[in-house]
Structure 1
Amino acid sequence: MYKVLLVDPNRRSREETDQLLDWKRLGFDIRAYADDASEALALLASEQVSLVLISLKAAHADGMRTCEHIRQKSTVPIILIGGSDDFHMVRRALAFQVSDYIAEPVQAADVTASLLWVKKQLDDASPLQLSLKALPKRAPEMSIIDIVKQYVQEQLNQNITLKKISALLHFNCAYLGQKFKDHENMSFNEYLLQQRMEKAKLLLEQTDMRIYEIASEVGYTEIDWFYKKFKAYTGASANEYRKQSSITA
């Protein structure tokens, strides 16, 4: 079930959208509501939202501004509903890379078609997204940075990039990178290297795993690259580090 954020300041309009069709039958659930761009961005930062619906019924300009602000920080799919069929309005919406623009009168069949298209895109997303979706369910209070950090811990032996994580979380990569750096006082790549090297040190100290096995366990497919990174990080080769650890143990 994909979680939907509905941005609409009008309560009656919200109810009409809720009752327009059987959302859950199509695999979507409207579980979050926002009145404006600031509320929408706050929810996107704290919750795992798969689709944003922005109503243009009350105020076209406000709705388009909300769309613009979201696009500055997130790539989450957006469907605009209830707008006019003015060519310039539609062209502006398309510039924000929205999934669809449904003009008045809004028909259930049109919304259904859009939802099915978006669902296919979401279903076809990388299987790695399943890990990311599971994290907020286990701990609803987790911030977006906590989610990124836990994902790194669980996928440390995989090819991890901030660009991939940003896409899966529907965040702008540059924005998420800056947010991470502000929160952790280090870049995402520095954090990723730190976590890989610290785990490698632990495995060298506490296991009899071969060096190439440890390299693979922390996400390195090329053993020479692992050796280079490990020595730069610790000042010793992996073999030297293991010997030193056994002496001091």
Structure 2
Amino acid sequence: MYKVLVVEFTRRSGMDTVTSLNWGSLGFTIENEAHTTDNALALLSSKSYQLVLINMVGMPEEGLALCSRIRAESRVPILLIGDGTNFQLARKAMYYQVSDYLPAPLCPDELSASLQLIRRKLDAARPVEREKQAVESAATDISVIDKVKEYVTEALSQNITLKEISNILHFNCSYLGQKFKYHENMTFNEYLLKQRMEKAKALLESTDLKVYEIANEVGYSEMDWFYKKFKSYTGVSANEYRKMMSITA
């Protein structure tokens, strides 16, 4: 069901038709009613609606002002009920890209037809909106993952944990770990090990630093642990790797 906010500034023509209509059969439900501009805007900011129906018979300027305020923040469909003899008012309403303008006294068939058209447009927009949300979510995830990788690069010589990074980025550690694995096809610890070993290899190839100095550069204070990890990663010891690279250079 699409949720509707009904706004009527005063009890005027058309509201009996509105309230007596079988909204559910048309795919809508009247969620809330508002009687002032401030009340309507407060509801719109705190809840999600798929349609705003404004009865501005007798208070056209108030109704148009509300349309203007809504359009400044939202593209939610707006259905207006106004004076049927005031064509200038109808033209002004179109400026705010309202979905429809129905003249009072309100005809039930016209209201029903208008709602059916609005529903078809809402139905058609649903897949597009879901795709847009998915794209935005993916972009946000990628941005966060990039921040994690940037932190690893900058702090590679330090003791790095995903929990520490999660606290810095204000994320749940388990959630961030799942997102990282999804986007990088490896766990955070696997990524961290790869970055450390690849930097160690680069330092062994391009510098005269001693092995213990290189171990410190890539975050290992215990040499035995560094030797074990490096050999497991490359298949040879750090010294053997340096000799191999100097021969092939």
Aligning the two structures, in what range does the TM-score lie when normalised by the shorter sequence?
0.5 to 0.7
Checking the alignment, whether the CA contact within 8 Å between 1:56 and 1:82 is kept in structure 2 is: yes
Which residue does the alignment assign to 2:59? 59
Which residue does the alignment assign to 2:136? 160
State the percentage of identical aligned residues: 31
How far 1:70 sits from its partner (Å)? Answer: 0.8
2:144 matches 1:195: yes
How far 1:23 sits from its partner (Å)? Answer: 0.8
2-structure distance, mates of 1:193, 1:22: 46
How far 1:195 sits from its partner (Å)? Answer: 3.3
What residue identity is the alignment partner of 2:33?
A: Y
Q: Which of 226, 230, 240 pairs up with 2:195? A: 240
Which residue does the alignment assign to 2:8? 8
Q: 1:115/1:241 Cα in 2 relative to 1: closer, same or farther (>3 Å)?
A: farther
Q: 1:242/1:75 Cα in 2 relative to 1: closer, same or farther (>3 Å)?
A: farther
2-structure distance, mates of 1:12, 1:21: 16
What residue identity is the alignment partner of 1:68?
A: S
Cα RMSD, aligned residues only: 4.1
Which residue does the alignment assign to 2:104? 104
Q: 1:206/1:92 Cα in 2 relative to 1: closer, same or farther (>3 Å)?
A: closer
How far 1:35 sits from its partner (Å)? Answer: 1.4
How far 1:246 sits from its partner (Å)? Answer: 9.2
Which residue does the alignment assign to 2:183? 214
Q: 1:194/1:25 Cα in 2 relative to 1: closer, same or farther (>3 Å)?
A: same
2-structure distance, mates of 1:242, 1:57: 74
Q: For 1:210-239, what per-residue CA distance to the aligned partner results, in whole angstroms no more than 9, with x for missing partners?
A: 7xx52489xxxxxxxxxxxxxxxxxx9994
1-structure distance, mates of 2:48, 2:71: 16
How far 1:48 sits from its partner (Å)? Answer: 1.2
User: TM-score under structure 1 normalisation?
Assistant: 0.57
Q: 1:124/1:241 Cα in 2 relative to 1: closer, same or farther (>3 Å)?
A: farther
How far 1:107 sits from its partner (Å)? Answer: 0.3
Which residue does the alignment assign to 2:240? none
2-structure distance, mates of 1:94, 1:242: 64
What residue identity is the alignment partner of 1:36?
A: T
For residues 13-162 of structure 1, what are the structure 2 equivalents within 5 Å? 16-127=16-127, 129=129, 155=134, 159-160=135-136
How far 1:192 sits from its partner (Å)? Answer: 6.1
Q: Which runs of 5+ in 2 are unaligned?
A: 153-161, 163-173, 200-217, 226-249
User: TM-score under structure 2 normalisation?
Assistant: 0.57
Q: For 1:139-192, what per-residue CA distance to the aligned partner results, in whole angstroms no more than 9, with x for missing partners?
A: xxxxxxxxxxxx7xxx5xxx218xxxxxxxxxxxxxxxxxxxxxxxxxxx8x76
1-structure distance, mates of 2:144, 2:108: 49
The total of aligned residue pairs comes to 175
Checking the alignment, whether the CA contact within 8 Å between 1:82 and 1:106 is kept in structure 2 is: no
Q: 1:23/1:237 Cα in 2 relative to 1: closer, same or farther (>3 Å)?
A: same
